[in-house]
Each structure stands twice: as C-alpha cells, then as structure tokens.
Structure 1
Amino acid sequence: MNDENRISVVINTRNAEQHLQQVLEAVKGFDEVLVCDMESEDATLDIARRNGCRIVTFPKADHKSAEPARTFAISQARYPWVLVVDADEIVTPELCEYLYRRVNGPDCPAGLYIPRWNRFMLRYTKSISYDRQLRFFRREGIVWPPYVHTFPTVQGRTEKIPSSEQNVRLIHLADETISDLMRKTNAYTDSEILKRSAKHYGLGALIGRPAWRFFRNYVLKMGFLDGLPGLIRAGMDAFYQFVLVAKIIEKNKRMNIE
C-alpha cells in the first residue's frame, strides 16, 4: 500500500481513561493512531503509550470541549486520510474495512459522513440513537471550527455512508446520565453562543426552537416508542435549545446596556 491510501486515526483526549483502552484496541488495524491530549491528569497518556500511539499535546487553557484542538490534531497526522474518533467511540471492524475499500477504489469522495449509534439510560433510543458525523476525510485543507457541535470544512465532495452497509458505524460508549446532560448543556451552550454571536433571538425562537426540537425527536424520530427514556431525552434536547436561546438573548441585552 502506498502512502496515498494510508489512514491516520486522530483521537482528542482530556482525562479519557474510562473507555480509551477499548477504543484503541478497535483501531489497531489502521496505519497510524495519533492521540492529541489536552493535559490529562489521569491514566490517559499511560494507556496511549502502552498501545503504541503517537502523542502530541494541545494546551487545555479554558477550553470546554475538544473542538479547539481538532484542526491542530488533524494537521499532525502523517497520512493523507484521517479518521477522527472520540475517546468514547468504537470503530467497528466493518467500518475499518469499508474505509480502506473506499480509499483504494475509484471515485472516493473527499469526506464521508459516518453513522454513529448512541445510547441513553442503558438503551439505544429512537430519538437519539442514530446520527451521522463527518469524521473521515482527506487531511489537506481541513479546518474544524473551534466550537462545539460543528463539522469540519472539507475541500471537495462528501458522501453519506448508506444505511445498507451493515455494521459500518461508530458506536458511542457513553451512557449519559441526566446529570451529565445538565453539565454538558451549560458548558456546550457557553461555547455555542460564540459562533452565534450575530444572532438576535426573541420570544419566537425561545419558544419555537425547543418546541421544534422536541417534536422532531419525540414524534418524527419516534422517540415515543421508547417510553419514559424517549420522553426524557427529547425533553432534555428541547431544554438545551431553550438554554442556548436564553443565553444569546441575555448576552445581547447585556451588550446593549454596556
């Protein structure tokens, strides 16, 4: 295999010891595993070293998510193709095989949206169990905005991996509790308002955005089939939107006063 068809796995970490060993075992079939660590204080680096990973560091500073370190980490990869994996996500063998088949075949796109399976309250719920993440792409020219819930800018055509490809996915190991979601809501909305600084929301958005998000997850995505977990998760997602809009309104009012 020539270098043009090789793949680097990039993993951003910060105190990620809980699932890291399992995550690294799942990516041993790739050409390189690069860990970009944000000053971890647990066993993260020891685990990475034991598994033969190449390690680079990025200052933690006051960052509340991995996004500020993404572009730097990707730029440090040795090979032209990059698969970005979070420190609590498993790459299935089928996904590994699929990616190599694509880069060695004709007409491979510059980026691929990968299916990801998530769980909540010990189960995979209809409302949030499945999403697609733009995690595989050519390294050249990649810019990842330093805000939470953003996708990288890819130079070229992108595709979605079809659902007909059985087990070609990322598996999200995190089983988020309501306390986890509350912490993330506060941290992530603080980060997200930075990319929405030009927005001027009012009463319509404060009511409409949470209502739409609840309707989408609970009705359109059939979260109602999951009983109470589906109802709670749809409600938490709606609450996230309420807090986000409320913080933007608050920020704009404070700026106007100043």
Structure 2
Amino acid sequence: MAQDNKISVVINTYNAEKHLREVLDSVKDFDEIVICDMESKDNTLAIAREYGCKIVTFEKKNYTIVEPARNFAVQSATHLWVLVTDADELVTPELRQYLYQYIATPNCPEGLFIPRRNRDMNVLDMGRLRDFQLRFFRRDKVYWPPLIHSIPEIEGKTTKLVDNDKAVFNHLDENYLHDRMEKLNRYSDEELDKRANKQYGLGALIWRPTWRFFKAYVMDQQYKKGLPGLISSYLSGFYQFLIVAKTIEKRKYKTK
C-alpha cells in the first residue's frame, strides 16, 4: 500500500449534540472527519454538516452500546491511519502533533494506546495518566469486537503514548451521579454476555469491588480529586459488584 501520511478522525454518535461542536473544533485540523451516526434524533447531523464532516449511518436497531458500529465506522474512513474519538472527548493540539510525528516514523507500531484524562463531578483528573485507550491504528490492521468495552484487535504491534502528558484525550462527560448510575446499570447488563461461563461466588463479590476501589482511589490517584474522587472510586467498585451479582443471579437463579 502506498504511503499515506494523512489521518482520518472517526466519531460514533447518537444524540451527541451536547459536546459535538467543541469536539469537532478540537479535530478540525485533521485530514478527514467521519461521523458514524446511529440515527440521532437531535441536532447531531446538522452540526456535523456545519463542519463539513463525512456522514455515514449505522442502523441503531436495538443496540444500546456503540461497539457494534465501530468496525463499520472505521472502515468508512478514507485514510490509512484512523483516530477514534468519542463525542465527549477533546483531542489536544499536542496529541494531534504527536500523531502526525508518529506516522512519519518508519516502522511505527500499527496501534497506539492514548491516555485519557477523565472528569468526575466537573473535576478534571490531574493524577498519573492510567486510563489508556487503543484508539489510533491502521485501518487495514484492526478488528473491533462488538462487545461492550471491548479493545480493538490489532494485526501487528501496539505501543503506549507515555512520553507527553499533554498529548491526551480530555473527557468532557461530567459524570453526574444520576447519569453515571444509569450507565452502570445499563453497562453491567451488557457485560453479562462476556461472562456467560464465569462461576462467581462470595469471594468475587467481596474482592473484585474492593480491588477496583483500591485501584481507582490509590493506584490511579483519585484521592487527589477530593470527595469527587472518593465517590468515583466507590462507583468503580460498585460497578464490579453489579457485574458479579448479576452474573450470579443469571446463572444460579435462572433470570433472563
């Protein structure tokens, strides 16, 4: 394949008008922006047209997660290198510069994990960069499994962006408690398909939530965010509790 030093940005959307203008402003200097929309009912498409985006549609059907649309979205891009960003994530100028330098490097790995700074109760995470997302890759070397929170599968090598703490995604989702609790319940339902053969018991009910809280609060330095960090860490542990409890309920008590 001929050398392609251009980058397509791919954004999956569904009723994403809230942050979309700000997100598109952050990626407007890339070579192409592809909006893969799941039949939005708000002003998402009007905003995308305003910015001159390439728009493709993926039927929403009964999907409640984005992953089934990821492969279609990525393959709708024109250029060899693809950056996937969500409709509530900003791409910093430093990240854009880094990515173009990256693809200009001979024999660079086919996939790149990019750090993301998250926001809880409107407080931005300024601790160590621990949330890495595999979002930059060659279009011809990737497959994205259609399961919730799945990681793209790369044919080739991957690496992490660890040498520039300003080359990041900035997550705009405020994660207010009402919205986050709704997501935890919905996402934990979707996780059940990935754990169909798991045999969880009392130990998992205790140690998985406890470990996730410890990891978030101590290792990921959520304590630096004060009470919002403490609350977010508890919710991370509670999410693991929901997954384990629902898996036990489904297997042992034969619920649907």
TM-score, normalisation: structure 1: 0.93
Q: Distance in 2 between matches of 1:127 and 1:235?
A: 17
- 1:225–1:50: structure 2 CA closer, same or farther, 3 Å change rule? closer
User: What's the CA shift for 1:223?
Assistant: 2.7
The aligned counterpart of 2:101 is: 101
Residue pair 1:218, 1:230 contacting (<8 A) in 2 also: yes
Matches within 5 A, 1:42-81: 42-81=42-81
Contact kept, 8 Å, 1:11 with 1:84, in 2: the verdict is yes
Q: Does 1:173 align with 2:168?
A: no
- Secondary structure in 2 aligned to 1:5? coil
Aligned to 1:222: 221
| Divergent runs of 4+, >3 A | 125-130
CA change 1:225–1:165 in 2 (3 A) is closer
User: Gaps spanning 5+ residues in structure 1: where?
Assistant: none
Contact 2:34 2:54 in 1 (8 A): yes
- 8 Å Cα contact 1:9/1:30 also seen in 2: yes
The residue correspondences of 1:130-141 to structure 2 (distance < 5 A) are: 130-141=130-141
Q: Hey, what does 1:6 align to over in structure 2?
A: 6
Cα deviation for residue 154 of structure 1 reads 0.7
> Residue by residue, what CA displacement relative to the aligned partner does 1:178-208 show, whole Å, maximum 9, x if unpaired?
1111100111111111111111111111111
Cα distance, 1:129 vs structure 2: 7.3
Q: Percent identity?
A: 52
User: How far apart, in 1, do the equivalents of 2:5 and 2:187 lie?
Assistant: 36
CA distance in structure 2 between the aligned counterparts of 1:153 and 1:129, rounded to whole angstroms? 22
Give me the whole-angstrom Cα distance separating, in 1, the residues matched to 2:50 and 2:83. 21
| Residue type of the alignment partner of 1:194 | D
Question: Is the alpha carbon distance of 1:7 and 1:172 closer, same or farther for their aligned partners in structure 2, counting shifts above 3 Å?
Answer: same
Counterparts of residues 186-201 of structure 1 (less than 5 Å): 186-201=185-200
Distance 1:117 1:152, change over 3 A: same
TM-score by length of 2: 0.94
- Which letter maps to 2:57? T
CA distance in 1, matches of 2:105, 2:234: 44
Q: Is the 8 A contact 2:82 2:139 kept in 1?
A: yes
Instruction: Give the Cα separation in 2 of the matches to 1:160 and 1:67.
Output: 22
Count of paired positions = 255
* Aligned counterparts of 2:64 and 2:95: Cα–Cα separation in 1: 29
Over aligned residue pairs, what C-alpha RMSD do you find? 1.8
Which ranges of structure 2 fall in alignment gaps of 5 or more residues?
none
